[in-house]
Amino acid sequence: MLKLRLLLPVLGAFLAIGPLALPASADAADTEQIFRGILEVILADGEDGTSRTFYALHDGDARYPFHRSGALGEPLVGAGAELVSGVVVEVRGVLVREEIVLAAVDDDTDLLFPTSAVPQSLTESPLPAGATAAPELHSTLVILGDFTDVSLACTTTDVDAFMFTNPDSAAANYGEASFGQVAFEGDVVGPFAISYASTGASYLSWASALATEAQNAGYTLTDYLHIIYVLPPNGTGYTGLGTTGIGALGYGSAWIFRCDRPGLYAHETGHNFTMSHASRYFIDTAIVWTYGDQTCPMGSQLDVRHYNAPHKYKAGWIPEESVTTVTNDGLYLLHRLEDENASGVHVLRIANPEPHIGSSDMYWVSYRTGWGLDANLSATYQNKVFIHEASATPSTTYLRTWLDTGETFAEPAGSISPVQVQVIEQDGTVASVLVAGVSPPLDMPALPTPALWIVSLLLVLAGRYPAIWLWNSARSK
Ligand SMILES: [Zn+2]
C-alpha cells in the first residue's frame, strides 16, 4: 500500500543516540570534534542559472550550519551517498561562531552515518501497475509575506490558483504526474508584513517571522507536510529554495520569490520529494547546464509539466514492473510517460558503460507525447523518445538527447559496438524502440560462411531477430 516513510523512525534514532555534542567552553570551540544532529539540506536556485547547496544540523530548536572550509554552498557527498534532510549524521569539524567547519578538506569521508539512522522522505512506495488507491494527501501551508520596502505582487487568491486550484496548478501537476498517487491541498494565508527589507538575504529569518505570524493566526505548522514561504524578489539572488526531503522540523520547506510561476511551486516542493535538478549534458563540450532539461519542472520553473522519467521513478510514482532494465538487444514497446494508466512499460534503463557525470551509470529511455499537462512542452519535445543519464537511484538527472521516428542515439562514439537506441515507430500512445549493443553477439552456428549468412538472413526475415543483430553479428566476426 501507499505509505509515507515519515517522522517516527528518525526521531527514535535521534533519541537513541543523544543530542548534538557541543563544546562546553570557548577553549573547546577550537577543538576538532564530532557533532551529531538531524541533517537539513537546502537547495537554492539562483537567478543566474546556478544552484547552491546548504547544510545544517538540527538539535532541538538550535540549528548549526556546516560546510567545508572555503566551500560554502558546494555540494557534499557523505559516505558516497546522496545527502537528504532527516537523516541523523555525525560530522567532524570545528565550531566557529556557531557554524561547523568540516575537518575534511577535499573529500566528504568525515561525514559519518550512524547505522540506526533512517532518512525521512516523502518518497512513496509505488502502487503495483494498474492498482488504485486513495491518493496520499500532502497538506500544505502557504504563507505570504511583504518586506518593509516591497509588497508581494500576488494576492492569496492568485497563489491559491497557482498552487492548488488552476487546471495547470502545481497540485494538478502532482496529481497527473504521479498517476493519482499524490494529492496536494492546504491553506494560503497572509500576506504578513515582516520587519525585513528586500535588500537582505536572510531567508531563514524571514521564514521564522512568517511562521510566527501564521501560528499567531491559528495555524499549526506541524499539521502540514509542506510549508511554502512566498515573498517578493530580494537580495538573495535566488528565485526560490527547497529542502531535500523533510527534516527535523517535520515538514518540507520551500521558498518562492517569483509568486506567479506555477512551475516554481512544483520545482521547490519537488525538492521536498528528494528530487534534485533536471540538468542537461552537452557531450561535445562536456558542459553541464544545471537547469537545462526543459521537460521537467526540476529544470524548467515557469509552467508545470510532467517530471522526467528518472525523477518520477525517484519520487516513487513508477512501479518497478513498469521499468525494464535492458540486458538483451531487441525491440521494446514504450508507453508514453504521461499515461494516466500506470500499466505497461514506461521506462527502459540501459547500463551506460562510460558514465559522463559522476555515478550516472544508466541511460533512462522514455516517451513523451504532449498528453495532458505535457501540452506545456514545446513542440520540440512532443512525440519524442528521451535519453537521460542518471544513476540507478537518481539524484541530479542529465538530459542527453531526444529522438524522432527513425533517429538513433549511439554511444560511445567510435566504439565498434556502441549502445544504440533507435525509434522505429510511434502512434502517440506507444513507441517501439530498437536497442542494440547491450547483449554480446549471439554465438553463430558452425556453418560455412555462405550458409551462415543465408541462415542468419532467414532468421531476420522470419522476425526471430532484429536486423541489427545480423549487423552486430557480422561485425563481431
Ligand atoms: Zn532547485
Q: What is the CATH number of the domain that holds 24?
A: 2.40.50
Q: Which amino acid is at 173?
A: N
Average pLDDT over residues 56-60: 87
Average pLDDT over residues 117-136: 51
Question: Cα(38) to centroid of ligand 1, in Å?
Answer: 21
Distance CA(334)–CA(327), nearest Å, equals 16
Cell of 19: 543530542
Question: Cα(44) to centroid of ligand 1, in Å?
Answer: 6
Last residue of a domain, one of 54, 89, 123: 123
Is pLDDT at 175 greater than 60 in this prediction?
yes
Same domain, 288 and 251: no
Contact yes or no for 293/278 (Cβ under 8 A):
yes
Distance CA(229)–CA(216), nearest Å, equals 16
Say what the pLDDT of residue 407 is: 97
* Candidate ranges 35-39, 86-90, 409-413; pick with highest mean pLDDT: 409-413
Average pLDDT over residues 441-461: 64
Same domain, 141 and 272: yes
Contact yes or no for 254/271 (Cβ under 8 A):
yes
Same domain, 207 and 264: yes
- Sorting pLDDT into bands at 50, 70 and 90, what band is 296? very high
Same domain, 179 and 270: yes
Cell of 132: 488504485
Last residue of a domain, one of 278, 297, 314: 278
Average pLDDT over residues 365-386: 96
Question: Cα(223) to centroid of ligand 1, in Å?
Answer: 25
Contact yes or no for 467/460 (Cβ under 8 A):
yes
Same domain, 129 and 266: yes
Cell of 112: 559519518
Contact yes or no for 338/369 (Cβ under 8 A):
yes
User: 3-class DSSP state for residue 166?
Assistant: coil
Q: Which amino acid is at 218?
A: G
Distance CA(80)–CA(92), nearest Å, equals 16
Domain range for residue 312?
Answer: 283-436
Same domain, 382 and 424: yes
Question: Cα(45) to centroid of ligand 1, in Å?
Answer: 5
Rounded to two decimals, the pTM is 0.84
Same domain, 432 and 290: yes
Average pLDDT over residues 193-207: 97
Same domain, 70 and 31: yes
Is pLDDT at 372 greater than 90 in this prediction?
yes
Question: Cα(407) to centroid of ligand 1, in Å?
Answer: 32
Question: Cα(241) to centroid of ligand 1, in Å?
Answer: 6
Closest residue by Cα to residue 250 from 3, 84, 33, 11: 11
Last residue of a domain, one of 69, 103, 123: 123
- Sorting pLDDT into bands at 50, 70 and 90, what band is 452? low
Question: Cα(163) to centroid of ligand 1, in Å?
Answer: 17
Same domain, 19 and 108: yes
Question: Cα(316) to centroid of ligand 1, in Å?
Answer: 19
Q: How many distinct structural domains can be found in the chain?
A: 4
- Sorting pLDDT into bands at 50, 70 and 90, what band is 68? confident
Question: Cα(49) to centroid of ligand 1, in Å?
Answer: 10
- Sorting pLDDT into bands at 50, 70 and 90, what band is 127? very low
Distance CA(354)–CA(351), nearest Å, equals 9
Contact yes or no for 123/316 (Cβ under 8 A):
yes
Distance CA(414)–CA(173), nearest Å, equals 41
Question: Cα(172) to centroid of ligand 1, in Å?
Answer: 20
Distance CA(98)–CA(323), nearest Å, equals 46
Question: Cα(239) to centroid of ligand 1, in Å?
Answer: 9
Which residues, at least 6 apart from 326, have a Cβ–Cβ distance to it below 8 Å?
332, 348, 349, 350, 435, 438
Same domain, 137 and 115: no
Say what the pLDDT of residue 121 is: 41
CA atoms within 13 A on the CB side of 22: 17
Q: What percent of the chain has pLDDT over 70?
A: 79
Q: Which ranges of 219-335 would DSSP assign to H, the alpha helix?
A: 262-272, 309-314
Question: Cα(276) to centroid of ligand 1, in Å?
Answer: 7
Say what the pLDDT of residue 78 is: 65
Contact yes or no for 169/142 (Cβ under 8 A):
no
Average pLDDT over residues 149-167: 98
Same domain, 429 and 454: no
Say what the pLDDT of residue 170 is: 98
Same domain, 420 and 314: yes
Is pLDDT at 165 greater than 70 in this prediction?
yes
Question: Cα(281) to centroid of ligand 1, in Å?
Answer: 17
Question: Cα(252) to centroid of ligand 1, in Å?
Answer: 14
